[in-house]
Each structure stands twice: as C-alpha cells, then as structure tokens.
Structure 1
Amino acid sequence: MDNYPLLNIFWTMLELFLWILWFFLLFKIITDIFRSHDMGGWAKAGWMILVILVPLIGVLVYVIVRGKSMGERDVAQAQKADAAFKAYIRDAAGGPGEGGTGDAGTGRSHVDDLAKLAELKANGSISEEEYQRAKDKLLV
C-alpha cells in the first residue's frame, strides 16, 4: 500500500463515481431523445450522432438546449404512470362504478346502497322485511 496513498484511493473513487454518473446521464439523454415527440427523425439522428461522436460536448449542449423540455417530459411521464397506477388500484379495489361492484352508469356502489337502506330502516321508512328483501336483492 506504500505505492498507493489514501488520497489516490479517494481520487480513484471520485473518478469511478463520475464515470458511472456520466453513463447514467448519457443513457438518460439517449432515452429522452427517443421519447421526445416534438423532434423529427432527422433531429433525433443528429442529436444521437452528436451525443455519441462527441459525448462530452454533445451531452452538455443537449442539457443546455433541451434541459427544460426534458424535465417537462419526465414530469408528464411520471404523471401518466401515477394515473395508470391509481386507475389500476381503483380497478383492483373495485371502486364505485368499476369492477362489477356497483352500477356502472350511476357510479354508486353496493356499500352506498346498503348504507341508504340501513338509514331508511333506522328512521322507520321501511320495515325489517322490506330491508331484508332489498338487501338480498343488492347482494345477489
């Protein structure tokens, strides 16, 4: 270890970290180039050639020129993924009007209908027999 002092170890670790960070940024930019819908094929090809042939300058120029729209595309993609996830959760949980647990046209669920029946029974608007018949009809 005499030939490799502690400062050199830290410097090597920093270089390795920056190298890995550089590859993440490069792959992020390449993905953004292909995901961008506001560029045509030739523009995408031009950016790819610039980023691959002159990587340092190409990536820096891309981030300077298209950094804001790159962030906007990331936010839009995250919102789309979040909306899809929430729709999946609603569908899996059987939210109102979905998954066969309620009336698709009205958006009401069986839970709402049962609560309304219990309220009608509690205030005396319907009898116990009417309540049981309506509840059985709902649960079938």
Structure 2
Amino acid sequence: MPTSNEIKAKQEISKILHDAFGWALTKDRALFESIFANDDDFFSIFPDSKSTAIGWNQFEKFLDSWMDPRNIAKGYEIRNLRIVISQSKDVSWFSAIVDDEGEFDGEPWGSKNIRWTGVLEKRKGSWRICQQHLSEAKDAN
C-alpha cells in the first residue's frame, strides 16, 4: 500500500505531466520552463524524426512556434496515466496515452492516441521531466 508521501509525490508528478500540455492553453512560458530539465542532458523524441530535441537549448527552439499567436491550443487529454516512483524516491517514470489538439492560422492540428513515456527527476525539491518519448502505435493487421 502506498504511503502518504508516495501518494503526494504521484499527485505532484501528475500535475506536472498535465502542465506539460496544459501550459499551452494560456501560453504560460514560466510554467513551461518549470516543467522540464533545463540542461544538456534533457531529450525529447517526438513521433516525427525532425522534432527530436537533444538538450534544453534545442528543445526551447520549439517554443517560438508554440508561442506564435497564430498557434492556438484547443485542448488535451491524458489517459491511462501510470506513474512509478523509484525506491530512492528521486526518480520517476511514467506512461500514458495523449490526445492534443489545436489550430495554426485557422488550420486544425492534432494527434490522437499518442503513446507518451518519460522520466522525471526530483531536483532541488521539484520534479522535472528529463526525458520524454511520444510515438504513434502502428498495429499489424
């Protein structure tokens, strides 16, 4: 049975994971920067090969297009969220299914049923996403 500290940590992590998509609804840059590890060890792998980012500086470059006023986040949904906390209590890994949608210059964009996995580390008392991987499932017929 989880302890109250583990329950609290999972709630904190869940909030961060929701904020990883939710920040875009209000374009809260400070929130965005507080979610991810701001260093060279961070990496993010997106479904398309052109959007892989190694290091915070490379990842932050995506922020310009996300902050563009023509880009409007419409909503997101995170389902089947599973969070595991390490025995050392300073590392966590997660998996979920995500829908993310919006529009750019009036044209809709979005992804449905994206698999999302990643690792967080507790740094200076705060959980940060250090690695994430988003992919589309390609089931064989």
User: As a proportion of its length, which structure holds more helix?
Assistant: 1
Higher RCO (C-alpha 8 Å, min separation 6): 2
Q: Flag the structure with larger Rg.
A: 1
Q: TM-score range by the shorter chain?
A: under 0.3
TM-score (norm 1): 0.24
TM-score (norm 2): 0.24
